[in-house]
Amino acid sequence: MISSLQEPLARSALDLEPVWPSIHIFLRWLDRQGCASHDPYDVWGTRYGLFARRLYYRKSWLGLPLIAPVLALEIVCPGARSWLARKERFATADAQLLLAFLNLHHLAGDNAYLDKALDLGKDLLSYSIPGYHGHCWGYPFDWQHGRGMWKENTPFITATPYCFEAFLGLFDATGDPVFRDIPASIARFVHQDLRDTPTSPDAAAGSYSPTDNSRVVNASAYRAMVLFEAAARFANDDYRRAAQKNLNFILQSQRADGAWLYTMDEDSKPFVDHFHTCFVLKNLFKLNRRLQSAAVAASIARGFRYYRENLFRPNGLPKQFAIQPRAQIVRLEMYDFAEAITLGALLRDAIPEAFAMAQRLASVLCRQYQLPDGHFVTRVYRGGWKHTLPFLRWPQAQIFYALTNLLAASGAAVPSLTASSASPNNQNQ
């Protein structure tokens, strides 16, 4: 148990103090940076990176000398990737930036934030991947993994749902029927192009992409969330039936202690990590807003209990793994902060303790891990070495979205985009 994170909510109200100033200077940084970014996986998508990872996965010890230079580059001089890879746009990042601007629009009532969200929506549509039953998105690089390789612009269920939520958000904010048609198209992709792998008479795992039959738990959680929401929005019982099978797979995959392994594929190394656990929990919570299922609520409660007790350090900061697939060199991953904050904001009423944790994590993140120019540290390695090259997909966009989720859950007032042009006092400068 993490007693330091279990004080009454009233005692943590001041933890929101640094959040708006941090968002403010992040927005100024984002205006300078733009929405194109390098990525943690872009170097691994080069010919050398693909070959090294392929050999590592096939014959681990032979591949180690080949992946070591890329790992060293990432730790010592991550900016050197600019010689090897160009900056790209990432759907996961653009969609979460869009959702964050919608949060600010709702809180401030300022159409300047909405205009930024609309611009991001146009950008997202411009690089939707053609050739499927509906709009979908992936990554702009080749991705070598343990079972093979996904070519660039293979659509993924881990990227596409953020776009689904983004365009639903634009529809809810504007009422423009165009923004209703786009999520309807996305739902067709999710239902028709992704594969189901039966795991029991009433359950099936949803695939990660249109080309695999993996049984990754968080992939099924994303698919179930999209299909339950689409079933309700578009009155489609086929979506609901498919989503129910994916949901049953998630519930049946949960261990007695409340944890979910990353995948139920028997040939994979078992691990339980922080942000993938958050993915499962947040998607279960979102879909249960439609279902109101006692069984799903009980699963969330068990999962959160395991998460709280096994994926935080004694000092209350996120722990990367509860079960490790291999030795780790990262001590703090800011992606974990972002997902923990978003999860806490979602669970505010269901599990108040989660919201208190989110407030404290946001305070630590804003006060200790935001750099003077406005972006956040990417990760901290063992020994205290900080990785500071900003990747929008991992985790700058997630942090921005998480902080606005926290403000939205708190009902906080925020300035208009014009009124906030004067620099606030910021603890990071």
Q: Which of 58, 84, 110 is the last residue of a domain?
A: 84
Pick the more confident residue, 276 or 78: 276
Task: Specify whether 320 is located in the same domain as 348.
Answer: no
pLDDT the model gives residue 253:
98
- Residues 396 and 261 both lie in one domain: no
Q: Is 154 helix (H, G, I), strand (E, B) or coil?
A: coil
Say yes or no to pLDDT of 200 above 80: yes
301 and 424, same domain (yes or no): no
Residue 14 has pLDDT above 50, yes or no: no
Considering 278, 310, 328, which residue would you say is the last residue of a domain? Answer: 328
Query: Rounded to whole angstroms, how far apart are CA atoms 238 and 234?
Result: 11
Q: How confident is the model at residue 418 (pLDDT cuts 50, 70, 90)?
A: low
120 in a structural domain? no
In this predicted structure, what is the pLDDT of residue 38? 94
Judge whether 101 lies within some domain: no
In 254-369, where does DSSP find H-type helix? 274-291, 294-310, 334-346, 352-368
Residue 303 inside a domain? The answer is: yes
22 and 157 in a single domain? The answer is no
Task: Tell me the one-letter amino acid at 414.
Answer: V
222-253 pLDDT, tens digit each: 999 999 999 999 999 999 999 999 999 999 99
- pLDDT given at position 136: 98
Kindly list the distances between the CA atom of residue 25 and the CA atoms of 35, 193, 366, in Å, as whole numbers in the listed order.
Answer: 16, 41, 11
Residues 315, 189 share a domain: yes
Q: What percent of the chain has pLDDT over 90?
A: 75
Which whole number is the average pLDDT over 165-189? 97
Q: How confident is the model at residue 328 (pLDDT cuts 50, 70, 90)?
A: confident
Token pair, residue 284, equals 């279960």
In this structure, the strands spanning 386-387 and 379-381 are antiparallel
Strands 143-145 and 203-206: unpaired
User: How many whole angstroms separate alpha carbon 237 and alpha carbon 348?
Assistant: 31
Query: 53-70: per-residue pLDDT in tens?
Result: 888 777 777 778 888 888
- pLDDT digits 0-9 by tens, 273-307: 999 999 999 999 999 999 999 999 999 999 999 99
pLDDT, tens digit (0-9, with 9 covering 90-100), for 354-391: 999 999 999 999 999 999 999 999 999 998 999 999 99
**Six-digit token string for 59:** 């014959």
Question: What pLDDT was estimated at residue 310?
Answer: 98
Q: Could you tell me the CA-to-CA distances from 388 to 75, 330, 331, 374 in Å, in that order?
A: 10, 13, 14, 11
Q: Same domain for 30 and 143?
A: no
Q: Which residue has the higher pLDDT, 98 or 414?
A: 98
Q: Is the pLDDT of residue 2 over 60?
A: no
Do 214 and 344 sit in the same domain of this protein?
A: no
Mean pLDDT, the chain, integer: 91
Give the pLDDT band of residue 427 (cuts 50, 70, 90): very low
Quote the pLDDT of residue 9.
32
Shared domain for 304 and 171, answered yes or no, is yes
184, pLDDT greater than 80: yes
**pLDDT over 60 (residue 12):** no
Question: Residue 387 belongs to what H/E stretch?
Answer: strand 386-387
Handedness of CA 19, 24, 29, 31 (dihedral sign): positive
Q: Count how many domains the chain has.
A: 3
- pLDDT at position 15: 59
Instruction: Flag whether 284 is in a domain.
Output: yes
User: Which residue segment(s) compose the domain that 385 sits in?
Assistant: 16-40+331-429
| Predicted pLDDT at 419 | 61
Q: Are residues 426 and 347 in the same domain?
A: yes
Residue 369 CA to residue 376 CA, distance in Å, equals: 6
Q: How far apart are CA 429 and CA 406, in angstroms?
A: 22
Task: Please indicate, yes or no, whether residues 321 and 335 belong to a single structural domain of this protein.
Answer: no
Residue 317 is part of a domain; what is its CATH number?
1.50.10.10
Domain boundary among 328, 343, 370: 328
Residues 6+ apart with CB under 8 A from 289: none
Q: Where residue 49 falls among pLDDT bands split at 50, 70, 90?
A: confident
pLDDT value for 54: 81
Q: Are residues 30 and 49 in the same domain?
A: no
